[in-house]
Structure 1
Amino acid sequence: MSTKHEIVFYPVGNGDSVQIILDQGRRVLFDFCHRDKGEDEETPEIDLKKRLRDELKAAGRDYFDVVAFTHADNDHIQGSTAYFELEYAACYQGGDRIKIRELWVPAAMLLEEAERDQLSDEFVVLRQEARHRLLEGKGILVFSQPEALMEWLRPKLEERGEAATARDHLFIDAGNLVPGFTLDRDGAEFFCHSPFIEHCDGDGDIIRNRAALIFNVRFDADGQRYDFLEVGDAEHGDLEDIVEATRYHGNDDRLDWDLFNIPHHCSYKALSSEKGDRETVPTPLVDELLRQGKPDSYLVSSSKPITDIEESYEQIQPPHIQARKAYERILREIGGRKFLVTMEEPNGYHPEPLTFAIERRGISWLSKATLGAAAIITSRPPRAG
């Protein structure tokens, strides 16, 4: 039987929730943004809790193999602490909560500081869960190993009678493959682009974006290779750092992409410090990254609809029409397939998840109009290897 992986982008407004479903059944969820208004059938945002629970039930599961929070901003974690079973406190267990077999978080999430009036905030609850799993030494991977985090961890390990290095195997640095997934066994591997250790020096909301998880996810489908760039809310400077570091270490192929999750809900800041009047001009290195897209590739903006009307050019918050125009222009120039927006398909009133199938013949966007039909929008397969 031929291999088929899937990547699903959920329409949650300006927010991120992306699921990878591997051919042999393992599921990896990147971020979770449930809008309460999504439970109202009259609003366009999806009821993410119900949709994911129904999908898991249909698969005979009450868990994800991996849940990765790219960073702790609300539009990437909203509703998560009411949905997932958390191991550190009984009040977050039982009922129909969904289990997390392995949690992936950036080191910055464990270092976040909170004022007294923030102790019930979701980022604090997730911080406590991540700290608990790290101390227990199971069910977690932490990306980057800054000294500030080790200064917190070492004394606690000493209290437990364990060596200062006892948790080193749970830390993954940028430039490495994530253990637990292989192309041969799973048909997928995860290469960590970010965060760098220096991204965890400092505090405040800026850290969350700079220290967000960014991966090259490589798939094998019966000998054909495809690449997905899963990007958190990076800005152009962060992407430039990734391009430079990746090339310096000879990993240029990890910048290739067939599918690209556009950073920060199509904000111009992922391209440049200047929005531009009609179109954002990407910095040279960001432009080079975008041009590593393969023929028939796709760009996806996890965002509200991006309308080309005059008022849009003055919009302060993302998504930005100027950024969309830049992405669309470059996509045309490299022979890409389509620019898609999660809240636009099949329409802005009742958007449905964007589902991509990854098979030997290519990456296919299973559009609403083509689901079940013979003709689907498919990329050409590259050579094997």
Structure 2
Amino acid sequence: MADSKIKYYPVDNGDMSLILLQDGTSILVDCNIRQSSIDSTDPKVYDVKKDLLSSVKKRDANPYVDVFILTHGDCDHCRGFKNNFYQGDPAKYSIGDRRENRILIDEMWFSPMIAEEHTNDDEDAYQKEAERRIALHRNKDADRDKPGNRIKIIGYDGNKDYKDIDHLRATPGKVVEVFNGKKQSTFSVFIHAPFKEHLASAEKDKNSTSIVFQARFKIASYDTKYACLAMFGGDSDHYSWEIILEKTKRYKNDEKEQALDWDIFLAPHHCSWSFFNDRPQAENPIPKETSLEILDYKRTGGKVIASCKKIIDEKPNPPHYEAKEEYLKKLDKASDLLNTAVYPKESEPKPIEFTITSGGPTLSPTNKVGSAIGSAGGAGAASSVVKQG
């Protein structure tokens, strides 16, 4: 079997990450496929779709991802979905779809809490495709469990009621081990958010209801320790992380599941200050203790990924230079903060790719080029299921 990998794509201020498991299973977390990047000859604009097509498997010559996780519906997390991913009955995938390299999605992860505020065509397309699949399951269609029709509900319901398909649901505190109909023995996901509390909040928005999860890798099924723990949080803010911290500790999942530990931490909202405190940063300059405590769960050699523009000390932001400085205080060295915009070099950014080894996540050999913290300066300082909703 091949080693598991994680790729973080350079997509400006946006998120797009690909998890590849030992058996070739692919899990795409968000997408930000800018039209200008397709067939790009500009070394500063990476062709993420070309890379994705070369990384995932094909079935009957048609490219597909096993799972697509949309953390929330902001355009910088779902840009390009409508044109680059197939929507509709998978049996009707056409020669034209293949010609356009539309990527099939065997299983969608869908959060009802973030699907109520449509703000862009790509989010609308994702919602429409999710509803198509939900209708198949509600109607007990014979094809409902086939690849291309599968769906998992993440979190709780908003205005729409999905209780009749609760068997498809995963809520905070649950561990998911089955992906695209296959149980994994060396990979799982711990669901952290979104929570019920966000439904009643007057401040509810897409960012605060982002899907937050921990990806957990082992090398062998009999291993008792995780080789890598990677945290994904969309645009979740410090309010969300405060709830995550409180609930995880209350149910002792910080101990039983190591659910807060991390080797790789994808900085929420593109290295925004909103992870540390309210914005604007100048009016709220003191980081919340709860956010700092989350970072204290770093394991030895932990890395922070800033999926954003080059981090410089000026507006507009995000990224926030002050957020970068706070992350650096928690890291062992400055080079442990990796900025997608300048990795491995600003003139030609490429995906930040980790290979999961018995010694932890290791930067893939082709990517070990210099430091990519995004700006000068700044020193670093030194499967149970438990309801958590």
Shorter chain as denominator, the TM-score bin is: 0.7 to 0.9
Paired residue for 1:24? 23
Paired residue for 1:268? 273
Paired residue for 1:319? 319
Paired residue for 1:293? 298
1:198 deviation in Å? 2.8
1:212 deviation in Å? 0.9
Match of 1:106 among 107, 111, 115: 111
**CA separation of 1:175 and 1:186: change in aligned 2, threshold 3 A:** same
Paired residue for 2:348? 350
Match of 2:217 among 204, 219, 230: 219
1:175 deviation in Å? 1.0
Q: Normalising by structure 1, what TM-score? A: 0.81
Aligned to 1:254, what secondary structure does the other structure show? Answer: coil
Paired residue for 2:383? none
1:203 deviation in Å? 8.7
Report the more deviating stretch, 297-306 or 171-180: 171-180
Match of 2:238 among 231, 236, 239: 236
1:45 aligns with 2:45: yes
Matched AA of 1:232? G
**CA separation of 1:131 and 1:362: change in aligned 2, threshold 3 A:** same
User: Structure 2 matches for 1:67-216, cutoff 5 A?
Assistant: 67-87=68-88, 94-95=97-98, 96-112=101-117, 121-137=121-137, 138=144, 139-146=150-157, 148-150=159-161, 166-181=164-179, 185-201=184-200, 206-216=204-214
Q: Distance in 2 between matches of 1:240 and 1:355?
A: 29
1:326 deviation in Å? 0.7
Q: Distance in 2 between matches of 1:233 and 1:12?
A: 15
Q: Distance in 2 between matches of 1:72 and 1:202?
A: 18
Report the more deviating stretch, 20-29 or 44-53: 44-53
Q: Distance in 2 between matches of 1:24 and 1:57?
A: 11
Q: Distance in 2 between matches of 1:285 and 1:213?
A: 19
Aligned to 1:211, what secondary structure does the other structure show? Answer: coil
The question of whether the paired residues in 2 share the 8 Å contact of 1:110 and 1:149 is answered with no
**CA separation of 1:81 and 1:203: change in aligned 2, threshold 3 A:** farther
Matched AA of 2:156? Q
Aligned to 1:255, what secondary structure does the other structure show? Answer: coil
1:197 deviation in Å? 2.2
Q: Distance in 1 between matches of 2:35 and 2:114?
A: 24
Matched AA of 1:323? A
Report the more deviating stretch, 141-150 or 187-196: 141-150
Report the more deviating stretch, 5-14 or 48-57: 48-57
Paired residue for 2:376? none
Identity of paired residues, percent? 29
Q: Distance in 1 between matches of 2:279 and 2:114?
A: 29
Aligned to 2:342, what secondary structure does the other structure show? Answer: coil
1:146 deviation in Å? 2.1
Matched AA of 1:270? F
**CA separation of 1:103 and 1:185: change in aligned 2, threshold 3 A:** closer
**CA separation of 1:188 and 1:19: change in aligned 2, threshold 3 A:** same
1:184 deviation in Å? 8.2
1:347 deviation in Å? 1.2
Paired residue for 1:374? none
The question of whether the paired residues in 2 share the 8 Å contact of 1:194 and 1:214 is answered with yes
Q: Distance in 2 between matches of 1:230 and 1:33?
A: 16
Q: Distance in 2 between matches of 1:202 and 1:288?
A: 24
Structure 2: any 5+ residue segments left out of the alignment? 138-143, 145-149, 370-389
Aligned to 2:328, what secondary structure does the other structure show? Answer: helix
**CA separation of 1:183 and 1:98: change in aligned 2, threshold 3 A:** closer
Structure 1: any 5+ residue segments left out of the alignment? 154-164, 372-385
Q: Distance in 2 between matches of 1:14 and 1:92?
A: 32
Paired residue for 2:9? 10
Q: For 1:226-270, what per-residue CA distance to the aligned partner results, in whole angstroms no more than 9, with x for missing partners?
A: 211111101111111111111111111200001101100001111
The question of whether the paired residues in 1 share the 8 Å contact of 2:62 and 2:104 is answered with no
1:178 deviation in Å? 2.2
Aligned to 2:159, what secondary structure does the other structure show? Answer: helix
Matched AA of 1:149? K
Q: Distance in 2 between matches of 1:237 and 1:298?
A: 23
1:91 deviation in Å? 9.8
Paired residue for 2:247? 245
The question of whether the paired residues in 2 share the 8 Å contact of 1:258 and 1:294 is answered with yes
The count of corresponding residues between Structure 1 and Structure 2 is 344
